[in-house]
Chains A and B, each alone.
Chain A
Amino acid sequence: MSATTRRRWTNWGLNALAYFVLIVMLAPVFWLVASSTQTTSALASGSYDLLHPTFDAFSDMWNSVDFERYLANSIVICSGAALFATAFASSAGYALARFSFRGSRTYELTVVGTQLIPGSLFLLPVFLGFVWLKQNTPIALLDTHLGLILVYTAFFTPLAIYFMRAFFQAIPRELEEAAMVDGCTRFQAFLRVVLPNATPGLVATFVYAFLFAWDELLFATALTEHRAETIPIGIRNFIGNYSEEYDQLMAAGVVSTLPVIIAFFATQRWLVRGLTAGAVKG
């Protein structure tokens, strides 16, 4: 065999391997979708009929647990938190990218430091704070959308600050300097000139915060009772009460994955740029 033929065969083999790896990685997702279209008994006995899907599980699951409520709560809470986190992270990220001020190094280190605190350490104090507010003030944070929105904003702002800083560093300074020569104040220059140029970063940050908030379980468990419960709680209740109805559990899994899959792939180009810019630049 000549060197070129051998190289062609190796290349062909590696291509086949790439597609094989993709199939293996996607197989569990395929099974999530496929099993949601089977009946409970087919899943239990293993007599799958993938060619004749049924969508009964998708209609039954809404009645088994109050899934509509969980879904609506998750959408409201995660959008709210992602919006606040993006706003605060972009202003703080801009400050760190452009200005040197006393305490900026301490601030940066504290921002990273928050990521080292296990949720279990400050969960109880946050809960107690919410209870205290409920008993002593008209501020209602326990089992409300606002309560979880505030907590999640705090959770996902720190890393988002680093994303946004990387995005702002890539925008030339001359842009806002020109705007200020034209009579803009510093804040107007930031709002009207810099932010629109950082749209990909803003979108990436919003989606990052949304995805991670969607995933949060621990604080949602402790800080909600009934009204503000989110999807992870719904899934846990499903497992607790309908443990044999795997078709419905998988249907619930499909429904709770769809919003984030859509958000991710719709903004994928920008998000990937944001994530890799943050990581590659450290």
Chain B
Amino acid sequence: MGIADRSRARFAYWLIAPAAAFMVLVHLIPTAAGMFLSLLNLNTFTFQRLFGAPWAGLENYDSILFDSANPLHSGFTNAASNTAFYTVWTVSLTLVLGLAIALLLNRSFPGNRVVRTLMLTPWVVPSFVVASLWQFMWQRDAGIVNKLLVDYLGFVDERPTWLLGENTMWAIIIPSVWRGIPFAMLIFIAGLQAIPPELHEAAAIDGAGPWKRFRHITLPLLRPLIAIQLLFGVIYSAYQFAIPYIMLGSNPGPSADLLMTLIIRQSFSNNLFGYGAAVSTLLMAAMFVWVAIWYRAFRRDLQEVR
């Protein structure tokens, strides 16, 4: 390595140092500490001793995953399946509707630029405002949703209850999708505009209809964008906290309790810190598995982009 190379490398290290320091101090060390806490029996009685709390080894994990007599086990499995349900529906609805709207708006029509810009508005509304707005809209008697469905349009006869019981899951999915669509649309429009129009023209001359062109030209070229949004969409949804917490409180009930609301409630309301840290670690492990699966499925697309 020559002197010039060494000075270049030293300069590069100085440039990455501040971001690296923040990463180590705020992310890496506290995460390692959090994983260590998951191996302790840390609760109300032992909290004063903190890192010196009694060693529990893998007991927390054992009772969460396998001890069917333990109420914490059923709480975990319920929240885990709710989180999977929430994530699958939120991500797939967001991507499908985002793509459909992108296709609809990526045509030339009067005012299309204004429409595209205004369409971004829901994404800019903060998620805690989204949650409080929809909590108001979902109210059984005073909410505008039931007013529309029952009183004004007459689609349903009985007023549905949204914030209690089975419907609560949809009461958090729908606002999440609503807030997510504009961003998906934005990314897809950028992708659609990068497709050379000649491809479609040539295929049209060869007699390919709109569906065939979408299926064999548009969709394959959008694959890298779908991949990147799937990756971050799943992680973001699996870690969703603000919407259920603001809309439904620290205990959203069995139908809408997500892993994040469960962890925060058990840790900070019930002081089960070791248990909370163990569930967090499992959630993180699940996300690593997801990234591995994702990487296997989309590796080829990533190479094409680079």
Interface residues of A, Cβ cutoff 8 Å to B: 11, 14-15, 17-19, 21-22, 25-26, 28-29, 31-32, 35, 43-46, 87-89, 91-92, 94-96, 98-99, 101-102, 104, 107, 110-111, 114-126, 128-129, 150-151, 153-155, 157-158, 161, 186-187, 190, 211, 214-215, 217-218, 222, 231-232, 235-236, 238-239, 246, 249-250, 253, 256-257, 260-261, 264-265, 268, 272, 275-276, 279-282
Task: Produce 1/0 per residue, B12-36, CB < 8 A to A.
Answer: 1101101110110111111101110
Question: What would 25 A/B residue contacts be, using CB atoms closer than 8 Å?
Answer: A18-B104, A19-B115, A28-B122, A31-B133, A31-B144, A32-B129, A35-B144, A110-B28, A114-B23, A116-B284, A120-B263, A121-B280, A122-B30, A124-B37, A125-B29, A158-B19, A211-B124, A215-B126, A236-B128, A250-B136, A257-B125, A265-B124, A279-B187, A280-B194, A281-B305
Taking CB atoms, residues of chain A closer than 8 Å to B194 are 280
Task: Produce 1/0 per residue, B178-198, CB < 8 A to A.
Answer: 100111001100110010000
Residue B58 lies at the interface, judged by CB distance under 8 Å to chain A: no
Name A217's contact: one of B124, B245, B276 (CB within 8 Å). Answer: B245
Taking CB atoms, residues of chain A closer than 8 Å to B302 are 282
Residue B239 lies at the interface, judged by CB distance under 8 Å to chain A: yes
Check B9–A101 contact: CB distance below 8 A: yes
Whole-angstrom CA separation of A141 from B101 in the bound complex: 45
Check B122–A115 contact: CB distance below 8 A: no
Name B147's contact: one of A46, A88, A161 (CB within 8 Å). Answer: A46
Interface residues of B, Cβ cutoff 8 Å to A: 7-9, 11-13, 15-16, 18-20, 22-23, 25-31, 33-35, 37, 50, 101, 104-105, 107, 109-110, 112, 115, 117-122, 124-129, 132-137, 142, 144, 147, 151, 178, 181-183, 186-187, 190-191, 194, 224-225, 228-229, 232, 235, 239, 241-242, 245-246, 260, 263-264, 267-268, 273, 276-277, 279-281, 283-284, 287-288, 291, 302, 305-306
